[in-house]
Structure 1
Amino acid sequence: MKQSKNKKVIKRVSGYIFEHKFLFILTLSLAFIMTVLSVLVPSVIQKVLDQIFTQGLEESKILVNGILFIGVLFLSKEVLNCLRIRINNKLEQKVILRIRKALHDKLLDLPINFYDRRKSGDISSRVVEDVQNVERAILDGTEQGVIAILTLIGVTIMMFLQEPRLAALVFLPLPVLLVMAFRYSKVSKKNWKAVREASGDLNSLLVEDIQGNRLIHSFDLKNREKKRFLESSRELEARSLQAMYRWSIQGPSASFTSSLGILAVVGMGAYLLQTDPNFTNGQFFAFLLYTNMFYEPVRQLVSINNMIAAGKASGERVFEILDEEVSIKSPQHPARFPKEDHSIKFTNVTFAYDERQSIVKGLDFFLPSGSTTALVGPTGAGKSTIANLLLRYYDVEKGSVSIGDTDVRNLSLSSLRSNIGFVSQDPFLFDTTVEENLLLASPCSNENDIISSLKIASAWDFVQKLPDGLNTLIGERGVRLSMGEKQRLTLARAILK
């Protein structure tokens, strides 16, 4: 089950990467050329050293020519690497944008009940941090993994061409390294997922403190919130340390194990220099370089394993939202919104926000078209619930809600909601101007329409007194306005609609 989940995350992220095949293939092609150039260097050094040892330094120009050639190889490799990094960064940002947009679009499509059971800080953490983590882990992991594998293949071929006996020694620590990587990967993703969840909880607490800042000051809750934030931060710290603790053992253990292979090559190489006349100093030096080049990508693959484990943990959190079912959506063949009969009818409606208790049960009432009705009752009686059901923020469990003779479930959501003006108990305004907030309800309205709606809502007098009138920026959630002013603006917006 876990393996299938891991494969699913990698496959789905790969789908976003392959939308930009040209950039991805170009990046891997540059990585391949860089690898070839890197693998050639020890062989060139061997030839330079062997000719110096056989012909002498003074009689041969091989040293100067060899150094120049090696310098050209290094320069070419780094130029290609610079180009590869730039292309990879471009690809990375395109993929991040694509996934993040898909996630944001899905969040806007999800019904209200999704947000009832989620923390806003955790959602923002998934959109911002988890998307970046999963993309970088999979894309960078794939690219670095390809470079490491190509290097291993190239170096292995060169080592066996140079000296098969030494090449065999290099492979001795490999099974141990593979077992270590496998055992680490089994627990790594679980640990990193716990880190991401703790990070989401911390973000949620931070968002809550920012949004409830006035309440915190008015009730003198600063010490309480400082304590909560410290506890949440310590939880994130503990989970992060737990995840990194295993890596702090894994990384050095892999390095030590690979160093045993290097020691074996040094010992055997020294022996061959004494006993095998065909084994040259140049070969020995080149082989030491190849040995180090072999173990470096092995260690890198172990590191990539950790990176991908963290990416998979973030990926599961991202795709959990992308896979969330949209329970309230428009019908495939929606009915037309009634043109004349706008009466509202609730027929035997039963609804509960959770399974514990129904808010309304067997509710029946009829509101004639053109009438004005006030719903009164104690807190929790279901007044706001009726508005929520009419707008299909939630669907009824039993019964039906109709406009005219049409069940609201048979109307498209855009048609239903565009024909209903709604003013929430908690007035919400965007961080833009007064005018732009009102035009959200009716983008084609002119200034006269806007002023007329403001006058009806008794808001025009205070809007005129604002520094820039209709063009005044009102801040996040309308923070620069009083509660009464915000309520009047939201009422004007509903009237304009």
Structure 2
Amino acid sequence: MSLTDEEDDPFEEQREQAENPMKRLFLEYGSENTFAFVTGVVASVFARVLNLLPPVILGVAIDSLIGQQSNQIPYADALAGQLPFVSSGLVAAITPAGRTGQFWFSVGVVAAAFGVGAAFHWARNWGWNSFAQNIQHNIRTDTYDKMQRLNMDFFADKQTGEMMSILSNDVNRLERFLNDGMNSAFRLGVMVLAIAAFLFAINWQLALVAMVPVPLIAIFTYKFIQIIQPKYADVRTAVGNVNSRLENNLGGIQVIKTSNTESYESDRVEDVSNEYFDSNWGAIVTRIKFFPSLQILSGLGFALTFVVGGLWVFNGEGPWFFTGTLRPGEFVTFILFTQRFIWPMAQFGSIINMYQRAYASSSRIFGLMDEPSRIREEPDADDLVVEDGEVVYEDVTFGYDEEETIVNDISFDVGGGDTLALVGPTGAGKSTVLKLLLRMYDVDEGAIRIDGTDLRDVSLPSLRQAIGYVSQDTFMFYGTVKENIAYGTFDVDDDDIVEAAKAAEAHEFIQNLPEGYDTEVGERGVKLSGGQRQRISIARAVLKDPEILVLDEATSDVDTETEMLIQRSLDELTEDRTTFAIAHRLSTIKDADKIVVLEDGAIVERGSHDELLDEDGLYAHLWGVQAGEIDELPEEFIERAAKRTASVETDADD
């Protein structure tokens, strides 16, 4: 299967939608670094021109100062003959009259050319490096900022390694082109144009001979671009696949070891590595055929120039149909320039090679940055001000795509300071309902209001600042316990952090850690138990002190004793706050002010714990399951449970 297939390249759609990515790169990011760019360009011009002076001075010295005086020509005439657009009178006015003075003048010009040229080389490198580094920094931060603001469904379809490949490999590849590629392009461009001018000034007929390979090189390079461009796109895709597989496996190393699947995973890594090898080797084979061919064409031009020029000097007149004279010094200068002219022509292939790599990378970067978001925030949206904390769901309907509705016509209200529990079988849409409150997604129909204000009319930062979220899957950032508790509420002192930990029943176990609050938690909190991570997550919510609290199965993965401690802290946290709670363990939410029961994305029951038990419906049956009264459950409930489980498993496989 081709790596360009959509299932192999998760960014295929984004990449194809990116229009003129390299043009956008320079217009949107290059314009911010104009000074560095201009410095690099100007310094490149002067540095290259100064590097061309020594061969000119050598040729002049041979023809006017070295050898038999009878064959020599005036210094000013020789120098003017090799400098385009410069008259011998002007040269005579600035050069000494005697041979000794002219000799030391030549030495001084060569020394000055190297010295001043070195200064321009430094300025050129500073300009291009500054230009490339600033763009690399800006585009990486902008890409990350855009990425983290995309909808959650985008991340559901993409793997971390694939996105890391864009933020790291693709951005770095742009930097290499902007620095090395652009630097080389202008340097070689100046050399080719300047040398061509010198060659035509010295002998236009021999210059045409030197130019013979140029159209052949141009045609050859054009074909190379057509062949290599799709190959580099495949390479970028394969890199993302490798990164994704490695990131997945390293993150799940414990499961791999406990499942004894090291060999299986090694085979899977070998498969994606082989895909990368095949795509990269295809590009390499194309490159290693291209560059030697360019050298052959370049060598052809040099050989022709040497034969024609050598015969010209040796015979004292132009061979075949060539006319005029060619002095030995001119021929030496011509040969030196021809070598410098032909080699840059061959190096242009390397620059085009870098350009094609950068093009493939920029397509992925801008394709990602152009990814539309379903969350629309008005630029002049007001901040949310929560007074009572009343939350109303009004005829809310939502689906992750147009084909399937997850939440259908949901309506309920929660009074300020009250607790509402969402209950239902797996896949009923409970978590989705609360994600809509956080505007992880926007409703397709209906509205959600806080104190009468539609969530879509307020700024996202103010909305999410007003809501504390404690989930089942607690995430710990690499750092200390203190830093993880304070995450999101950074302007607090140590006393506030300790008080939040005490409220979350976390202070005692934190004190027993090796470094207390300064203990490193490890990657994703691996050094802590599930219950410890959960209590730190609750402490984080306590410190935030939100007006509205969302508890998404906050105690489902802990033991009974730890659940008791967490429940104590949650009771403290939910007091006088509008609270939403999802729980599979119904005992943790039986005291909620209102319980809403969901099935297949719709509300099927609502009321208090006792009222729902009296109805003897879905809630009562779920309660019976947890109470161990399975034999007393109706057969219809068991059959529906089996169908729901099969449906959820099928969706997970898809």
Q: TM-score, normalised by structure 2?
A: 0.71
- Contact 2:17 2:367 survives alignment (8 Å): no
* Rounded Cα–Cα distance in structure 2 between residues aligned with 1:447 and 1:286: 75
Q: Which moved more, 1:382-391 or 1:74-83?
A: 74-83
In the TM superposition, residue 333 of structure 1 has moved relative to its aligned partner by 4.1
* Rounded Cα–Cα distance in structure 1 between residues aligned with 2:489 and 2:47: 57
Which of 44, 48, 52 is 2:66 aligned to? Answer: 52
In the other structure, the counterpart of 2:138 is 98
In the TM superposition, residue 406 of structure 1 has moved relative to its aligned partner by 2.0
Q: Closer, same or farther in 2 for the Cα pair 1:483/1:363, shift >3 Å?
A: same
In the TM superposition, residue 38 of structure 1 has moved relative to its aligned partner by 2.0
In the other structure, the counterpart of 2:473 is 426
In the other structure, the counterpart of 1:17 is 30
In the other structure, the counterpart of 1:252 is 292
Per-residue CA shift, 1:356-389, capped at 9, x if unaligned? 5322222222222222222222221112111111
The 3-state SS of whatever aligns with 1:374 is: strand
The 3-state SS of whatever aligns with 2:42 is: helix
Which of 148, 157, 161 is 1:108 aligned to? Answer: 148
Q: Closer, same or farther in 2 for the Cα pair 1:104/1:310, shift >3 Å?
A: same
* Rounded Cα–Cα distance in structure 1 between residues aligned with 2:465 and 2:19: 42
Q: Closer, same or farther in 2 for the Cα pair 1:467/1:5, shift >3 Å?
A: closer
Which of 360, 368, 371 is 1:313 aligned to? Answer: 360
Q: Which moved more, 1:319-328 or 1:168-177?
A: 319-328
In the other structure, the counterpart of 1:178 is 218
Which of 202, 224, 232 is 2:264 aligned to? Answer: 224
Letter paired with 2:152: I
The 3-state SS of whatever aligns with 1:362 is: strand
* Rounded Cα–Cα distance in structure 1 between residues aligned with 2:380 and 2:207: 69
- Contact 1:10 1:312 survives alignment (8 Å): no
User: Considering only CA atoms, is the larger Rg found in Structure 1 or Structure 2?
Assistant: 2
How is 1:363-378 mapped onto 2 (pairs within 5 angstroms)?
363-378=410-425
- Contact 1:169 1:264 survives alignment (8 Å): yes
Q: Does 1:157 align with 2:197?
A: yes
The 3-state SS of whatever aligns with 2:471 is: coil
The 3-state SS of whatever aligns with 2:409 is: strand
The 3-state SS of whatever aligns with 1:340 is: coil
- Contact 2:162 2:241 survives alignment (8 Å): yes
Letter paired with 1:324: E
Q: Which moved more, 1:434-443 or 1:81-90?
A: 81-90
In the TM superposition, residue 69 of structure 1 has moved relative to its aligned partner by 4.9
In the TM superposition, residue 7 of structure 1 has moved relative to its aligned partner by 4.1
The 3-state SS of whatever aligns with 1:115 is: helix
In the TM superposition, residue 114 of structure 1 has moved relative to its aligned partner by 2.1
- Contact 1:46 1:283 survives alignment (8 Å): yes
Q: Does 1:359 align with 2:373?
A: no
Q: Which moved more, 1:123-132 or 1:435-444?
A: 435-444
The 3-state SS of whatever aligns with 2:393 is: strand
Which of 376, 379, 387 is 2:426 aligned to? Answer: 379
* Rounded Cα–Cα distance in structure 1 between residues aligned with 2:488 and 2:304: 76
- Contact 1:6 1:312 survives alignment (8 Å): no
In the other structure, the counterpart of 2:519 is 472
* Rounded Cα–Cα distance in structure 2 between residues aligned with 1:3 and 1:112: 22
In the other structure, the counterpart of 2:80 is none
In the TM superposition, residue 80 of structure 1 has moved relative to its aligned partner by 3.3
Q: Does 1:36 align with 2:18?
A: no
In the other structure, the counterpart of 1:288 is 335
Q: Which runs of 5+ in 2 are unaligned?
A: 1-14, 72-97, 318-323, 545-654
* Rounded Cα–Cα distance in structure 1 between residues aligned with 2:197 and 2:454: 72
- Contact 1:439 1:493 survives alignment (8 Å): yes
- Contact 2:396 2:443 survives alignment (8 Å): yes
Per-residue CA shift, 1:272-291, capped at 9, x if unaligned? 12042832221211111111
Q: Closer, same or farther in 2 for the Cα pair 1:156/1:332, shift >3 Å?
A: closer
Letter paired with 1:310: R
In the TM superposition, residue 318 of structure 1 has moved relative to its aligned partner by 1.0
* Rounded Cα–Cα distance in structure 2 between residues aligned with 1:340 and 1:270: 94
- Contact 2:136 2:174 survives alignment (8 Å): no
Which has the higher relative contact order, 1 or 2, with Cα contacts under 8 A spaced 6 or more apart? 1
In the other structure, the counterpart of 2:503 is 456
- Contact 2:21 2:359 survives alignment (8 Å): no
- Contact 2:165 2:239 survives alignment (8 Å): yes
- Contact 1:192 1:309 survives alignment (8 Å): yes
- Contact 1:10 1:138 survives alignment (8 Å): no
Letter paired with 2:160: S
* Rounded Cα–Cα distance in structure 1 between residues aligned with 2:24 and 2:206: 39
* Rounded Cα–Cα distance in structure 1 between residues aligned with 2:28 and 2:453: 42
Q: Does 1:323 align with 2:367?
A: no
* Rounded Cα–Cα distance in structure 1 between residues aligned with 2:493 and 2:312: 91
More helix by share: 1
